Amino acid sequence: MKTIYFNKFYKSFNILSGILIIASLVFLVFKGLNFGVDFKGGTLIELRTDKSSANITKIRDSFNQMNLGDVSVKNFGNETDFVVKFEKQNSNDPQFIEEIKTKLSNSIGTVDFRRVENVGPKVSAELLRSGVIAIALSLAAMLLYIWIRFEWQFSLGAILALFHDVIITLGVFSVFSLEINLSIVAAVLTIVGYSMNDTVVIFDRVRENLRKYADVKIFELTNISINETLSRTIITSVTTLLALLSIFIFGGEILKGFSLAMILGVIFGTYSSIYIANPVLVSLKVSQRTIVKEEKE
Amino acid sequence: MLYFSKLRVFSVLIFTLIISYFTISNFTKVDDEFFSKNIKLGLDLQGGSYLLLEIDNEPVITQRLQSKVLEFKKFFKDKDIKVRNFVIEDKSIIFDVENSKIEDVKSLLDDDKSEINPYFQQYKSHQFNFENMDTSFKLEFSDYGLVLLKNSSLDQAIEIVRRRVDEVGTNEPNILKRGNDRILVELPGLDDPGRIKSLLGKTANLTFQFISSSSEESFGTEKLSFEDGSSEAIVSKRIVLSGDNLMDAKPTMNNQTNETVVSFSLDRVGAKKFGKATSNGVGKRLAIVLDGKIISAPEVREPIIGGNGQISGNFTFQSATDLALLLRSGALPAPLNIIEERTVGPDLGKDSINAGIMSLIIGFILVVAFMFYKYRFFGLIANLALISNLFLLVGILTLFEATLTLPGIAGIILTVGMAVDANVLIFERIKEELKNENNSIVAFDSGYTKSRTTILDANITTLIAAVILFFMGSGPIKGFSITLGVGILTTLFSVYFIARLITAYYVIKNKHKERLI
């Protein structure tokens, strides 16, 4: 196969990544994330109307009359399916949901509540905390693992690539106000695993090549390694993306956000293994001495 | 890496077949408990309600402190120590001691063997911590005492919750402790949890108290309002009888008034108490109080001696049934708050299953077609490994009766996409080896050997993510971590045993052919 000179573009893509990360951080800080009821507390109702005449405006109006705090209504897949979220949660009143249903039926006709989620403020704060801990813990565990398996220069490259993927994925969610719920946390953790997996495969090859070719500069060597593992990188990304696309298109509305986060993560993860992890090795001037020294110790 | 002993081939085959059997058992019916296992569906797939309840322990703490005050008073009186000004404030007991006895009280409170420290012998820890300022003492529950109190009220509450849920007769409810003040209730198949919620939301403390003749609230009486909010009444604080003495309760029809009532029967102690009280109280009104609200206050026309009685109070048949159920199952030690509720209707569950299976099939076909296109014959081997991987994964989930959730299905599909990675790594390595090596057996062998650490590294990273998710995640997300984690293990098995076995067989047979892969 023809060699592709990935290393020619290290600089320009690093600049691009830098811009993307800064932009993501700016969005995350100033716009923030659109937290779902899991993390913000409140009530979510997925409902199906029996007539197509019910539209978002009508539903929003009737919910607004019920004094439930901030109400948001979105179409959910089918024309007759909607998701309504509002601040108020009152699960201690057993009639709370029933009353809403009755009032709604009076104004827009028969409705079926397909899903109700009611999360109190204490629980949502705990869920948010354990989500953050889970992500932090997985990053730490990856760091530890790669520290044991590789030299520190490699660990640094892999971890930077991880942060890159997680920050940009969350940045995209912030820009488009996509909802962050429990399944997004699961997706982010899986992205962490996948991105690491991809980086490790290239790094294994870099290390092997460092032993094999004493006089090739790291700038060239990373390119050789990327090329040698390229067909694997492409095939695995394609099969994973095929599976994820299938979930995204056919898996129903509930899995949309989850599979979208994963798709983004796989794309950024593949890109960052090449354009973040490897340039780090180059700028840290990794050479045969780096790994030989380590092995002597 | 290409050599397999006969025994190994045999055991791989048997293992695969046995596990795969359990996959198939999901779709067949056999008359045996062990062989007819089915995968358990999570609430998001079969529909149902998930409720997280939290005990409000404050009333229990106050109650416990009140009875402790009585204990202390008696204890110090016996020891001839004057204590006064008992107050319960901010979850602690405060009292004063005469000047000369401060040191005595201190040492008594510290004494591991004294009667007021009954916990110490058993748990080697004090139930209370105390602070001393001049003549004033402040006692509050120690961390240990608090844990003990919470655990005992949680144990009681969970028992009552179980009885109430069982009485309603839902299908296979799941009731679990969470931490030391929470109860998780899972009710499969229930799409309207309204009734259960109203049953669990009531403490169901039933008391019978006489209505006082005076119209002003005084010491020994309290003002309570009627259930329907219509009026208030002054009620004596003395409890004639409480729900503890109830043996049975059921809704019945009163033939004379033609209204629905709850009739109850009392145990022997209760019947005696009730008989005595009603004999003395003929002509008075007896209030029936539930959770601090008066249900009704009928006049006692004659002594009730047999231990049977009726509660009236504008009941519908449904509300009488519910009250009877609450009385039969007993009172909760403390109020329960519902802090999280998730309900999925059976329709949505079915739709989710269909969507999940649809995307699994399509994802699977896409991946299999792509692998065949890229590797031809070896693609078929990888696909065979993929199929057995799926059978093993679902089989293991069934065997261990893991719960399958919607994200869990997504985990299976993701496994399909990522599982081929190991075989791709191996095949690509073999291709490279074949460039410099003419002997295909040697090339295949070193292809397997050289890719091994990479494959392990790559899979361990994903496994780490899955394990962390398993411990931190809840409900549906846990389901995802299980399928992802088990999926990695079955992937490694199917790649290293099944695919390698077929590859080895094929390569050894065709070692003289060129361009094997």
Q: Choosing among B51, B406, B464, which should be mutated to test the A contact, i.e. which has the most A CBs within 10 A? A: B464
Tell me the HSE value of B26 on the side-chain side, using a 13 A CA sphere: 20
DSSP at B235: E
Closest by Cβ to B417, choosing from A112, A197, A240:
A240
**Contact call for B194 and A196, based on CB within 8 A:** no
- Any bridge partners for residue B55, and if so which? B336
Residue A204 with chain B: CB contacts under 8 Å: 453-454, 457
Query: β-strands B336-344, B128-133: how paired?
Result: unpaired
A11: closest CA of chain B, how far (Å): 27
Residue with tokens 């004493």: A214
Single-letter amino acid code for the residue at A136: A
pLDDT 10s digits, B188-246 = 988 778 888 888 988 999 999 999 877 777 778 888 888 888 888 899 888 888 888 88
Q: How far apart are CA B234 and CA B226, in angstroms?
A: 11
**Contact call for A200 and B458, based on CB within 8 A:** yes
**Contact call for B458 and A254, based on CB within 8 A:** no
Residue B473 with chain A: CB contacts under 8 Å: 134, 182, 185-186
Q: Which residue of B has its CA nearest to A208?
A: B450
Provide the sign of the torsion angle of the four alpha carbons B165, B407, B368, B486, taken in this order: negative
Q: How far apart are CA B480 and CA B483, in angstroms?
A: 5
Residue A233 with chain B: CB contacts under 8 Å: none
Residue with tokens 């019945």: B252
The tens place of each residue's pLDDT in chain A, 297 residues long, gives: 678 999 999 999 999 999 999 999 999 999 999 999 999 999 999 999 887 667 888 889 889 888 888 899 998 888 889 999 998 887 678 788 888 998 888 888 888 899 999 999 999 999 999 989 998 998 899 888 988 888 889 999 999 999 999 999 999 999 999 999 999 988 998 898 899 999 999 999 999 999 998 889 999 999 999 999 999 999 999 999 999 999 999 999 999 999 999 999 999 999 999 999 999 999 999 888 887 765 555
A233: closest CA of chain B, how far (Å): 9
The two three-digit tokens of residue B105, written as one number: 């009280």
Closest by Cβ to A252, choosing from B198, B355, B418:
B355
* B50: number of Cβ within 10 Å: 24
Q: According to the model, what pLDDT value does residue A241 have? A: 96
Q: Choosing among A47, A88, A89, A91, which should be mutated to test the B contact, i.e. which has the most B CBs within 10 A? A: A91
The two three-digit tokens of residue B359, written as one number: 């995307």
Q: DSSP 3-state assignment of A164?
A: helix
Strand order through the sheet with A42-49: A71-76, A78-86, A42-49, A111-119, B336-344, B48-55, B182-188, B174-178
Q: Which helix (H) or strand (E) holds A10?
A: helix A10-30
**Alpha helices in B437-512, H assignment, sequence order:** 440-472, 475-493, 500-509
The two three-digit tokens of residue A159, written as one number: 């971890």
* Domains observed in chain A: 6-36+123-296 (1.20.1640.10), 42-118 (3.30.70.3400)
Query: β-strands B136-141, B128-133: how paired?
Result: antiparallel
Cβ–Cβ < 8 Å for B412, B487: yes
**Contact call for B420 and A236, based on CB within 8 A:** yes
Closest by Cβ to A189, choosing from B195, B338, B468:
B468
Residue among B491, B486, B462, B488 nearest B397 (CA): B486
Q: How far apart are CA A35 and CA A228, in angstroms?
A: 42
pLDDT 10s digits, B128-177 = 888 888 888 888 888 888 888 899 899 999 999 999 998 887 778 999 99
Q: Which residue of B has its CA nearest to A48?
A: B348
Query: β-strands B403-404, B40-41: how paired?
Result: parallel
The complex's ipTM works out to 0.91
Q: Choosing among A135, A181, A254, which should be mutated to test the B contact, i.e. which has the most B CBs within 10 A? A: A254
Cβ–Cβ < 8 Å for A73, A147: no
* B40: number of Cβ within 10 Å: 18
DSSP string, B60-111: HHHHHHHHHHHHHHHHHHHTT--EEEEEEETTEEEEEE-GGGHHHHHHHHH-
**Contact call for A255 and B363, based on CB within 8 A:** no
Residue among B309, B332, B474, B484 nearest B397 (CA): B484
**Contact call for B345 and A115, based on CB within 8 A:** yes
Interface of A with B in 49-88 (CB under 8 A): none
Closest by Cβ to B454, choosing from A123, A204, A249:
A204
Q: Which helix (H) or strand (E) holds B163?
A: helix B143-168
Cβ–Cβ < 8 Å for B57, B153: yes
Residue A184 with chain B: CB contacts under 8 Å: none
Q: Choosing among B477, B483, B495, which should be mutated to test the A contact, i.e. which has the most A CBs within 10 A? A: B477
Q: Choosing among A133, A203, A236, A273, which should be mutated to test the B contact, i.e. which has the most B CBs within 10 A? A: A236
Q: DSSP 3-state assignment of B403?
A: strand
Q: How far apart are CA B9 and CA B20, in angstroms?
A: 16
Q: Is the pTM of this model over 0.95?
A: no
The two three-digit tokens of residue B55, written as one number: 């005990």
Helix, strand, coil percent values for chain B (each to nearest 5): 55, 20, 25
Provide the sign of the torsion angle of the four alpha carbons B360, B362, B366, B371, taken in this order: positive
Interface of B with A in 163-222 (CB under 8 A): 192, 194-195, 197-198, 201
- A91 at the B interface (CB within 8 A)? yes
**Contact call for B362 and A239, based on CB within 8 A:** no
Q: According to the model, what pLDDT value does residue B103 have? A: 83
**Contact call for B54 and A98, based on CB within 8 A:** no
Q: Which residue of A has its CA nearest to B194?
A: A94
Single-letter amino acid code for the residue at B249: A
Length of chain A, please? 297
Query: β-strands A179-180, A34-35: how paired?
Result: parallel
Q: Choosing among B178, B185, B359, B432, which should be mutated to test the A contact, i.e. which has the most A CBs within 10 A? A: B359
Q: DSSP 3-state assignment of B399?
A: helix
**Contact call for B339 and A91, based on CB within 8 A:** yes
Interface of A with B in 2-41 (CB under 8 A): none
* B71: number of Cβ within 10 Å: 13
Q: Which helix (H) or strand (E) holds B322?
A: helix B317-329
Residue with tokens 């309290």: B222
Residue with tokens 């067909």: A231
A114: closest CA of chain B, how far (Å): 5
Residue B480 with chain A: CB contacts under 8 Å: 183, 186
Q: According to the model, what pLDDT value does residue A296 have? A: 58
A194: closest CA of chain B, how far (Å): 6
Length of chain B, please? 517
The two three-digit tokens of residue B264, written as one number: 């109850």
Helix, strand, coil percent values for chain A (each to nearest 5): 70, 10, 20
**Contact call for A204 and B371, based on CB within 8 A:** no
Give the number of A-B residue pairs with CB atoms closer than 8 Å: 220
CA distances from A133 to A126, A137, A269, B473 (A): 10, 6, 21, 11
Q: According to the model, what pLDDT value does residue A293 have? A: 64
For B255, residues 6+ apart whose C-beta sits below 8 A from its C-beta are none
**Contact call for B194 and A242, based on CB within 8 A:** no
Q: According to the model, what pLDDT value does residue A289 have? A: 82
Residue A47 with chain B: CB contacts under 8 Å: none
Residues of chain B with pLDDT below 50 are: none
Strand order through the sheet with B128-133: B83-89, B92-97, B136-141, B128-133
**Contact call for A116 and B343, based on CB within 8 A:** yes
- A125 at the B interface (CB within 8 A)? no
Q: How far apart are CA B47 and CA B221, in angstroms?
A: 49
Residue A46 with chain B: CB contacts under 8 Å: 348
Q: According to the model, what pLDDT value does residue B489 have? A: 95
Where in B82-220 does DSSP place strands (E)? 83-89, 92-97, 128-133, 136-141, 174-178, 182-188, 206-210
Q: How far apart are CA B349 and CA A114, in angstroms?
A: 9
Residue A182 with chain B: CB contacts under 8 Å: 473-474, 476-477
- A149 at the B interface (CB within 8 A)? yes
Q: Which helix (H) or strand (E) holds B372?
A: helix B346-375
B276: closest CA of chain A, how far (Å): 39
Residue A141 with chain B: CB contacts under 8 Å: 464, 468
For A31, residues 6+ apart whose C-beta sits below 8 A from its C-beta are A174, A175, A177
Q: Which residue of B has its CA nearest to A236?
A: B421
If you average pLDDT over every residue of chain B, what do you get? 88
Closest by Cβ to A189, choosing from B406, B458, B465:
B465
Q: Choosing among A44, A46, A49, A92, which should be mutated to test the B contact, i.e. which has the most B CBs within 10 A? A: A92
- A155 at the B interface (CB within 8 A)? no
Q: Which residue of B has its CA nearest to A249?
A: B359
